[in-house]
Structure 1
Amino acid sequence: MLESTARNLQSYETVETEPQVKSQEIAVTHKVAISKTESLLLIGLGILTLCLMTALVTMKVSMTSAQNSLDTVTTQISNTTTSNVNLQQEVSELTSYDRLSSFAKKHNLKMSNENVRNVAK
């Protein structure tokens, strides 16, 4: 009773498997010709893009020019306003009561209520 429980591998046929040849699919790319309609559309799109770019640059230049003009006018307004304020201050100083009194004393002038007229608008 010396039988082995191991299988007798020699009794089985050995089958060799042939290496399977994998068929490689080669992707063939074909260039498709562009039709006349598509080429016209591409040309039109290119022209439209160029026109829009030119319009954008033109608008940007005109906007910059307008901004410069606005800055110039704003500066002129500021200078004129400052000049007006200075002139009003000078008028106020020249017509002050103290100055008129000192001028009257220099020239020997006297204030007489009989010669004063009140004018209302």
Structure 2
Amino acid sequence: MPLNNNLARNLEVELPLQSPVAVPKETPIHNPLPRKSGITKVEKLLCGALLSIVFALIAISISLEISIASTNRALQDTNSSIATITTINDNLEQEVQELSRYDRVYKIANSQGLKMNEANVRNVTK
């Protein structure tokens, strides 16, 4: 009966007896002491100095920007006043040229009773 050969068989196997395994005593693990804060007094001092330097540089930068802005404003005001005065001077110079025309001077002299005397005239050149 070869077909019956593939049935499970009940085999007795001898297992060696083992003694219970002794649990080793737990050895205390060396835990290092917890460290204090990683920031020392010197590092705090350096951070404070760095922050104060940064704050001083920011304050200086802002004050310089304000100074530059006020100087630019003063320059613009000065340029504006120069342009105004130049315009006024040009207008006055033109008025002087109009008032000192020869025919106008001659007309005023005649109305005042003055006469032309060539002997008393001197030519002045600029």
TM-score (norm 2): 0.62
- Residues matched between the structures, number: 92
Unmatched 5+ stretches in structure 2:
1-34
The residue that corresponds to 1:118 in the other structure is 123
The residue that corresponds to 2:100 in the other structure is 95
SS of the residue 1:34 aligns to = coil
The ranges of structure 1 where at least 4 consecutive aligned residues each deviate by more than 3 angstroms after the TM superposition are 104-110
The residue that corresponds to 2:4 in the other structure is none
Cα deviation code 1:20-51 (max 9, x no counterpart): xxxxxxxxxx9951111111111111111110
Q: What one-letter code is carried by the residue in structure 2 that aligns with 1:85?
A: D
The residue that corresponds to 1:73 in the other structure is 78
* Same amino acid, percent of matched pairs: 38
TM-score (norm 1): 0.64
Work out which of the two has the higher radius of gyration on C-alpha atoms and give 1 or 2: 2
CA RMSD of aligned residues (A): 2.4
Aligned ranges 1:1-121 → 2 under 5 Å: 33-107=38-112, 109-119=114-124
Distance of 1:118 and 1:97 partners within structure 2:
13
Task: After TM superposition, give the deviation of residue 101 of structure 1 in Å.
Answer: 3.3
